[in-house]
């Protein structure tokens, strides 16, 4: 699923089930030492997907520590992103020769709870979702908006080291499988306020992606 919405210079791997905890590196085990079972499984399989994806760009298996505010610390010369939700885990990586940052996010293909929507979307975005819903009622457009904003944060944070609020990006979703975002705050490390990404709904899940190429 995730590979369908990434450019060819990004490698990815995904799993619809989980792999054994023994696949973790010893250095990674303390990161989930006190975690509940669900969290352990998603972390382990997310790391496994990351190493599968890294192998596809010629990077030998290595630990992927947790950095500032939970962002993965990728092996030198690479950037990437991890996502997991019920029944799905994925990772995407690229060489820093090709990419500045990557953000991916997966979600169950279900409507967002009403109270969440009002916290993550502006009135303009909500009006856009209504129009999309009128044209195609089969797609949970609100969930795609939420996921797009998670992908934006996963690109934004590793570059800037700063928090980005849901109100600080204005997203327009295109029914064709793309979205555009305008950042309402600037940071020199981002270099741009305009982002574009892709989305896909498939088999009970939705996914979004942003791959920022190196100019
Ligand atoms: C961090 C966040 C984006 C993760 O998204 P999520 O849908 O909750 O969970 P996902 O399973 O898709 O992603 C989790 C993975 O994201 C990665 N991640 C966590 N924090 C991160 C950060 N600061 N930067 C980049 N990646 C991060 C990790 O790899 C994590 O998995 P791991 O802990 O097993 O390594 C989300 O929890 C969050 O804090 N959002 C608030 C900020 C935001 O989205 N702002 C909107 C801006 S428009």
Instruction: Tell me the per-residue pLDDT of 142-198, one tens digit each, with 9 for 90 and over.
Output: 999 999 999 999 999 999 999 999 999 999 999 999 999 999 999 999 999 999 999
Please say which residue of 87, 105, 123 terminates a domain. 105
The verdict on 58 and 11 lying in the same domain is yes
State in Å: Cα 104 to ligand 1 middle: 9
pLDDT band of 207, cuts 50, 70, 90? very high
State in Å: Cα 175 to ligand 1 middle: 25
The verdict on 123 and 190 lying in the same domain is yes
Instruction: Tell me the per-residue pLDDT of 69-116, one tens digit each, with 9 for 90 and over.
Output: 999 999 999 999 999 999 999 999 999 999 999 999 999 999 999 899
Please say which residue of 105, 127, 148 terminates a domain. 105
Atom of ligand 1 nearest to the CA of 66: 35
* Pairing label, strands 178-183, 169-174: antiparallel
Please say which residue of 105, 132, 162 terminates a domain. 105
User: Could you tell me the sign of the dihedral formed by the alpha carbons of 12, 18, 22, 26, in that order?
Assistant: positive
| Residue of 40, 64, 70 with the most ligand 1 atoms within 8 Å of its CB, for mutation | 70
Structure confidence at residue 143 (pLDDT): 98
**C-beta of 70 in contact with ligand 1 (< 6 A):** yes
| Residue of 27, 153, 157 with the most ligand 1 atoms within 8 Å of its CB, for mutation | 153
Q: Which structural domain, as residue segments, surrounds residue 119?
A: 110-203
The verdict on 41 and 81 lying in the same domain is yes
Nearest by Cα to 166 from 187, 180, 152: 152
Atom of ligand 1 nearest to the CA of 43: 34
Structure confidence at residue 199 (pLDDT): 98
Q: At what angle do helices 141-160 and 123-135 cross, to 10 degrees?
A: 140
**C-beta of 146 in contact with ligand 1 (< 6 A):** no
**C-beta of 92 in contact with ligand 1 (< 6 A):** no
In a domain, 128, yes or no: yes
In a domain, 91, yes or no: yes
- List the residue whose alpha carbon is closest to atom 27 of ligand 1: 71
Structure confidence at residue 15 (pLDDT): 98
The verdict on 70 and 94 lying in the same domain is yes
The verdict on 142 and 183 lying in the same domain is yes
In a domain, 188, yes or no: yes
State in Å: Cα 135 to ligand 1 middle: 31
User: Could you tell me the sign of the dihedral formed by the alpha carbons of 169, 5, 64, 18, in that order?
Assistant: positive
Structure confidence at residue 180 (pLDDT): 98
**C-beta of 164 in contact with ligand 1 (< 6 A):** yes
**C-beta of 141 in contact with ligand 1 (< 6 A):** no
The verdict on 60 and 122 lying in the same domain is no
Atom of ligand 1 nearest to the CA of 167: 48
What is the average pLDDT across 121-129? 98
State in Å: Cα 134 to ligand 1 middle: 30
The verdict on 140 and 98 lying in the same domain is no
Instruction: Tell me the per-residue pLDDT of 7-59, one tens digit each, with 9 for 90 and over.
Output: 999 999 999 999 999 999 999 999 999 999 999 999 999 999 999 999 999 99
What is the Cα–Cα distance from 12 to 1, expressed in whole angstroms?
10
In a domain, 211, yes or no: no
Element (H, E) at 89: strand 88-95
């Amino acid at each position: 699923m995730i590979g369908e919405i990434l450019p060819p210079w990004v490698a990815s791997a995904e799993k619809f089930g989980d792999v054994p905890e023994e696949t973790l590196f010893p250095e990674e085990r303390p990161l989930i030492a006190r975690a509940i079972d669900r969290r352990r499984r998603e972390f382990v399989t997310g790391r496994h997907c990351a190493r599968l994806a890294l192998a596809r760009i010629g990077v030998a298996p290595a630990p992927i520590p947790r950095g500032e505010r939970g962002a993965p610390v990728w092996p030198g010369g690479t950037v990437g992103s991890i996502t997991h939700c019920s029944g799905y885990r994925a990772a995407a990586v690229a060489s820093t020769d090709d990419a500045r940052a990557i953000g991916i996010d997966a979600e169950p293909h279900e409507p967002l709870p009403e109270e969440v929507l009002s916290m993550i979307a502006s009135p303009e975005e909500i009006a856009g979702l209504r129009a999309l819903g009128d044209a195609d009622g089969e797609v949970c457009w609100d969930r795609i908006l939420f996921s797009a904003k998670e992908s934006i944060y996963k690109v934004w944070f590793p570059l800037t080291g700063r928090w980005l609020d849901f109100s600080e990006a204005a997203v327009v979703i295109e029914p064709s499988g793309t979205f555009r975002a305008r950042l309402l705050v600037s940071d020199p490390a981002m270099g741009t306020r305009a982002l574009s990404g892709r989305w896909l709904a498939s088999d009970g899940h939705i996914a979004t992606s942003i791959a920022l190429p190196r100019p």
